[in-house]
Structure 1
Amino acid sequence: MNLLKSASLLVFLAVAGCSSTEEKPQQAALAPAAAKIDAGWLDDYEPRLRDALKDSRFEVERKDGLLVVTAPVDSSFNPDRPGMLLPITLGPISRVAKLVEKDDKTAVVVLGHADSSGAEETNRAVSRDRASAVAAIFRLSGLKHDRLRVRGLGADMPRAANDTLEGRALNRRVEMVLAPQVNMLALLASYEPAAAPAPVTVAKVDEKAAKKD
């Protein structure tokens, strides 16, 4: 009988991670590649949307085949209560909500954004609170969950540099992204974070298991 020399064996198991919603998302294009751009829908909706918001401070723009309504935080929310809308914003948001609610082929994703001045966790919470406050107006107008979603993105998608007061003000915003409902799942996927690799695990094999008669 020959005895093998006793040794400690290390087995390294590296497992590739699956998609996770905890990883910080990167700047994403608003329209995913899988979603087809409906020019007719854009041409029909844009003028009605602009008319609904003509007396407000909200911005309306076409972006990657979608319609995006941007509410600047500084003129839309109570500075002492970050998740509370100012009364002046209720009318414009309600008009947009009514416009969408009457058309069962259109969906809305409400995105909250923050500047980078706070902690990441705080920024995400505040941005989601603001987005939820806007989404509540859509729910009151009758929009159901299958046509309304909310995301709090924190400081992950800035539209200006955060090193100036003006830049930070631009980054503090809530976006109401309007899209044909058939594109909603693809749109939501564009805001999902990238996958994070799982940690490497190390297992030790007992020395006795390495012995043979």
Structure 2
Amino acid sequence: MSIKKSLYLPLALVLAGCAHNSPADSASAKHWWWPFGETAPKQQVVVQPDPKVTQAWLDEYEPRLREALKDSRLELERRDNLLVVTAPVDASFNPDRPSMLLPVTLGPFSKVAKLLEKDPKTGVLILGHADSSGQAQLNRELSQQRAQAVAAIFRLSGLQRDRLMLKGLGSDMPRAANDSKEGRSLNRRVEILVTPQDTLVALLAGYNQPSKTTAVVAAGQIK
């Protein structure tokens, strides 16, 4: 079955916990998903990553990702200890079927997925974002569906379950004001956060602790 056809199939997901917390014990577990009906990985101890190792990894992967994204509408940004690939919704998803990727995006996404799949130490977090128009719950669901559509490409490319997570954030993390058409367009996006797996586990732990989330965002690690 081709990737394009596979994206049109319903995606089965299972509720799971985040990072080092057990799904049964974590109050925020219900917000995190491992794609495609699989159980959560075993508990992981959060180890503070070595900044030098992380920066060396970023130095190696940034030019490789830029080459994979060349001539596409996807954007690449380096944020502290992350590489972030941003897919603008207006250029990436079908306007008539808002959670379906346009065929033109499959090639660039597949190139990125294949590049990352080869490195078992790499982790990927896919975040769906919406603008503030309409009902908040519907926006959150749509952002989740868009994150799932992108995750499908990474999973079909061979990325293992313990290296791939996703979340729909709705309009919780805008990157522009929602009071203009241009601002709302910027806020409708899917972000692919790429980093060494140890760094990703530490990042997810910060998400699991609401008191630290603001600090994470302020540091520019997630928008």
- TM-score interval, normalised by the smaller of the two chains: 0.7 to 0.9
CA distance in 1, matches of 2:156, 2:111: 12
Distance 1:90 1:123, change over 3 A: same
**Which structure is higher in RCO with an 8 Å CA cutoff and minimum separation 6?**
1
Once the two structures are TM-superposed, the CA of residue 182 in structure 1 deviates from its matched residue by 1.4
Residue 190 of structure 2 aligns with which residue?
A: 174
**Which residue of 159, 171, 189 maps to 1:143?**
159
Bigger-Rg structure (1/2):
1
Which residue in the other structure is 2:43 paired with? none
| SS of residue matched to 1:71 | strand
Match of 1:50 in 2: 66
**SS, match of residue 73 in structure 2:** coil
Give the corresponding residue for 2:105.
89
Which protein is richer in helix relative to its size?
2
In 2: Cα distance, 1:96 partner to 1:142 partner:
12
Aligned to 1:211: none
Deviation above 2 Å: which 4+ runs of structure 1? 18-24, 34-37, 189-195
SS of corresponding position for 1:154:
coil
CA RMSD of aligned residues (A): 2.3
Contact 1:112–1:151 (8 Å) recurs in 2: yes
1:159 to 156, 159, 175: 175
Map of 2:28 onto structure 1 = 21
Q: TM-score, normalised by structure 1?
A: 0.75
Residues 27-78 of structure 1, C-alpha deviations (whole Å, 9 max, x = no match) = xxxxxxx554311101000000000001101110101211000000000001
Matched, 1:123 2:139: yes
Separation in 2, partners of 1:170, 1:98 = 27
Q: Structure 1: which 5+ runs fail to align? A: 1-17, 25-33, 196-213
Within the candidate set 112, 115, 119, 2:128 is matched to: 112
Structure 2 unmatched runs, 5+: 1-24, 32-47, 212-223
